[in-house]
Chains A and B, each alone.
Chain A
Amino acid sequence: MAGLYKSDYENPVIRWIDTRLPIFSLMQKEYGTFPTPRNFNYFWNFGALALVTLVIMMATGIFLAMNYSPNTGLAFDSVQRIMRDVNYGWLLRYTHQNGASMFFMVVYIHIFRGFYYGSYKYPRELLWMIGVVILLLMMATAFMGYVLPWGQMSYWGATVITNLFSAIPVIGQTVVTWLWGGFSVDNPTLNRFFSLHYLLPFVLFGVVFLHVVALHITGSNNPLGIEVKTPQDTLPFHPYYTIKDSVGLCVFLIVFAVFVFFVPHTLGDPNNFIPANPLQTPADIVPEWYFLPFYAILRSVPNKLGGVTLMFASILVLFVLPWLDTSPVRSARFRPLYRPFIFVLVLSLFALGAVGAHKPEGLWVVLGRVCTAYYFLHFLVILPVLGVLERPLPLPESISRPVLGPPGGGGPMPAGAAAKPMEKS
């Protein structure tokens, strides 16, 4: 069926484009009138914040790359030159460096939102799994980026992480040599890490696009975890959620700016001010904060292959989470048992973070093992069993009921504002 798309736009230029490539109609449908549950809380800001952070990372990264040299002899000094000589180079680098932390902070909260409100359940399983792919890509990108400034932590972080693959039976060492392009982390390694660090964010961007496409098929979950039933349950995305996202964005950018302008080194490691030295490992090797819990899991197992396996498993288990949780109720609000358990999980992740930051001695070892065990227990035993044992609280009839109806609602929306968009659509 050849022919033009039927566009509603009056403006002749927009109409000319829209009838041939309905990009304006598409944006209007997906971001303008897109029906969105009316009861979002601020947890629903974090997806948009993550997208903004990804764009900030790509912008600062591309401009850093204009002055960065991916060569072992030049890398460290080229980063120092960015800090001292390049106009606003310090700003670009501090934004990129702290931006990585902000990115993980935002994405971790985004994931917690998914845990708490059961966003991974039917019909959003694939949406969730694409999210886990995003997390893995982010980790790979951040790891390779951290190698680029070629400080002591860059070098030894690269050595330790690539050596994880040596735990693979039989072919381990061959794989590691292949990753390095040599017999230690050296210039070929730095070159390929730079190339991939440039590439992966764009792959990430593509996967984020798929994430959003999947989201727009199933529609968003919401704090009550019940499906949208009538148009009264929704609001058009614009202006209601563009504004709500903007408010969250302003707060987020203030937090971001405080780190960049006042405490740019708080989240970093002072050892990375020392140029890489392949002959001397720093006294205490610690990854960036966002990797600490996984690092703690790795060290909690007194067996090389076991530790590595468990560390990867701790993320891979998220892929099957939609099928491990057997409860049909999504939101933790209506799950009296799940709710305390999910907080214990968060607590154990914080504890694992602390364990990862300390030398594996005495109580830290014990704590690490207990928390690692709990982490897997939560997903593999507690969740499947809870779905059977738990008696959920009664679910509200619809989203608009508890929001608009007086008792138990606390609905912030005046009736007038609620009625208006309905007239339009």
Chain B
Amino acid sequence: MAEPLAAATTAQHGQPDIVSKRDFLKLVTISGAAIGAGAFAWPFIASMNPSRDVLALSSVEVDLTPVQAGQGITVVWRGKPIFVRHRTEAEIKEAVDTPLQAMIEPVPDADRVKPGHAQWIVVIGICTHLGCVPLGNKPTDPRGDYGGWFCPCHGSQYDTAGRVRHGPAPLNLFLPPYAFESDTKIRIG
């Protein structure tokens, strides 16, 4: 320890020994204070992260039985709207058959749904452009040219797999983590 330190301080000041001890003490004092200040700041910063009661709200169960084909519902998960939509046979066929080249972020339909549950599309209902909630869950809503969702803010359009087909949104709607608990029930989160 002493040797490299002495060498370093000698290089700095062109003075041996006496200076190195004081510099060492300064270094220890200042790093001690810096570590202390960091340790002091840590709980303050951590306190602004989600608290335990907020984290405890992080999963919801959704019963799918009332949702008719062609309709969608919106549920709230972590304060965000989640679109759960029951796709018709025609919509599924179109989503599967669309060539990937036609997409802005190309993803096959199979990667957007759970295997064996192609009629259910579950996406986070937040436009990937600047965060508005797109329209289209209700059959009476405007759904855009691709039959999925239409964002009223700047006109982005999504297909029935939640893939963006018309900008300015750059990405497909995000998928929340979810699983089928039974054929008629999913658990989000």
Q: Is the interface of A mostly helix, strand, loop or mixed?
A: helix
CB atoms of A88 and B47 under 8 A apart? yes
Find the B residue at minimum CB distance from A84: B52
CB atoms of B52 and A63 under 8 A apart? no
Flag whether B115 is at the interface (Cβ < 8 A): no
* A66 to B53 Cα, complex, angstroms: 15
Flag whether A280 is at the interface (Cβ < 8 A): no
Contact of B43 among A81, A85, A88 (CB under 8 A): A88
Q: In the complex, which residues of chain B have a beta carbon less than 8 angstroms from the beta carbon of A67?
A: 47, 51
Interface residues of B in 15-62 (CB under 8 A from A): 29, 42-44, 46-49, 51-54
Q: How far is the CB of B82 from chain A (nearest CB, A)?
A: 24
CB atoms of B53 and A87 under 8 A apart? no
Interface residues of A in 80-109 (CB under 8 A from B): 81, 84-89, 91-92
Q: How far is the CB of A60 from chain B (nearest CB, A)?
A: 8
* A123 to B119 Cα, complex, angstroms: 87
Q: In the complex, which residues of chain B have a beta carbon less than 8 angstroms from the beta carbon of A313?
A: none
CB atoms of A92 and B53 under 8 A apart? no
Q: Is the interface of B mostly helix, strand, loop or mixed?
A: helix
* A86 to B44 Cα, complex, angstroms: 11
Q: In the complex, which residues of chain A have a beta carbon less than 8 angstroms from the beta carbon of B52?
A: 84-87
Interface residues of A in 215-272 (CB under 8 A from B): 246
A59 and B47 contact, Cβ closer than 8 Å, known pairs A81-B53, A85-B52, A85-B53: no
Q: How far is the CB of B28 from chain A (nearest CB, A)?
A: 13
CB atoms of A92 and B51 under 8 A apart? no
Q: In the complex, which residues of chain A have a beta carbon less than 8 angstroms from the beta carbon of B29?
A: 246
Find the A residue at minimum CB distance from B53: A85
Find the A residue at minimum CB distance from B55: A85
Contact with B along A258-295 (1 / 0, CB 8 A): 00000000000000000000000000000000000000
Find the B residue at minimum CB distance from A86: B51
Contact of B46 among A84, A85, A88 (CB under 8 A): A88
Q: How far is the CB of B33 from chain A (nearest CB, A)?
A: 8
CB atoms of B43 and A66 under 8 A apart? no
* A85 to B56 Cα, complex, angstroms: 10
* A246 to B28 Cα, complex, angstroms: 14
Number of interface residues of B (CB under 8 A): 12
Q: In the complex, which residues of chain B have a beta carbon less than 8 angstroms from the beta carbon of A63?
A: 44, 47-48
Q: In the complex, which residues of chain B have a beta carbon less than 8 angstroms from the beta carbon of A85?
A: 51-54
Find the A residue at minimum CB distance from B42: A88
* A346 to B43 Cα, complex, angstroms: 39
Q: In the complex, which residues of chain A have a beta carbon less than 8 angstroms from the beta carbon of B53?
A: 81, 85
* A84 to B52 Cα, complex, angstroms: 8
* A81 to B47 Cα, complex, angstroms: 12
CB atoms of A91 and B43 under 8 A apart? yes
CB atoms of A92 and B48 under 8 A apart? no
Q: In the complex, which residues of chain A have a beta carbon less than 8 angstroms from the beta carbon of B51?
A: 67, 81, 85-87, 89
Q: How far is the CB of B41 from chain A (nearest CB, A)?
A: 9
Q: In the complex, which residues of chain A have a beta carbon less than 8 angstroms from the beta carbon of B54?
A: 85
Q: In the complex, which residues of chain B have a beta carbon less than 8 angstroms from the beta carbon of A84?
A: 52
Find the A residue at minimum CB distance from B52: A85
Q: In the complex, which residues of chain B have a beta carbon less than 8 angstroms from the beta carbon of A81?
A: 51, 53
* A81 to B52 Cα, complex, angstroms: 9
CB atoms of B44 and A89 under 8 A apart? no
Q: In the complex, which residues of chain B have a beta carbon less than 8 angstroms from the beta carbon of A89?
A: 47, 51
* A91 to B45 Cα, complex, angstroms: 12
* A63 to B54 Cα, complex, angstroms: 17
* A91 to B47 Cα, complex, angstroms: 10
* A92 to B48 Cα, complex, angstroms: 12
* A85 to B57 Cα, complex, angstroms: 12
* A342 to B53 Cα, complex, angstroms: 54
* A16 to B44 Cα, complex, angstroms: 34
Q: How far is the CB of A141 from chain B (nearest CB, A)?
A: 20
Find the B residue at minimum CB distance from A87: B46
Contact with B along A70-88 (1 / 0, CB 8 A): 0000000000010011111
Q: In the complex, which residues of chain A have a beta carbon less than 8 angstroms from the beta carbon of B44?
A: 59, 63, 88, 92
Q: In the complex, which residues of chain B have a beta carbon less than 8 angstroms from the beta carbon of A246?
A: 29
Q: In the complex, which residues of chain A have a beta carbon less than 8 angstroms from the beta carbon of B49?
A: 87
Q: How far is the CB of B146 from chain A (nearest CB, A)?
A: 43
* A81 to B43 Cα, complex, angstroms: 16
Q: In the complex, which residues of chain B have a beta carbon less than 8 angstroms from the beta carbon of A91?
A: 43
Q: How far is the CB of A66 from chain B (nearest CB, A)?
A: 7
* A92 to B47 Cα, complex, angstroms: 9
- A sample of 28 cross-chain residue pairs with beta-carbon separation below 8 angstroms, ordered by A number, consists of A59-B44, A63-B44, A63-B48, A66-B47, A66-B48, A67-B47, A67-B51, A81-B53, A84-B52, A85-B51, A85-B53, A85-B54, A86-B47, A86-B51, A86-B52, A87-B43, A87-B46, A87-B49, A87-B51, A88-B42, A88-B43, A88-B44, A88-B46, A88-B47, A89-B47, A91-B43, A92-B44, A246-B29
Interface, chain B (partner A; CB < 8 A): 29, 42-44, 46-49, 51-54
Beyond the given A88-B44, A92-B43, A92-B44, could you list 13 further A-B residue pairs with CB under 8 A, ordered by the A residue number? A59-B44, A66-B47, A81-B51, A84-B52, A85-B53, A86-B51, A86-B52, A87-B43, A87-B52, A88-B47, A89-B51, A91-B43, A92-B47
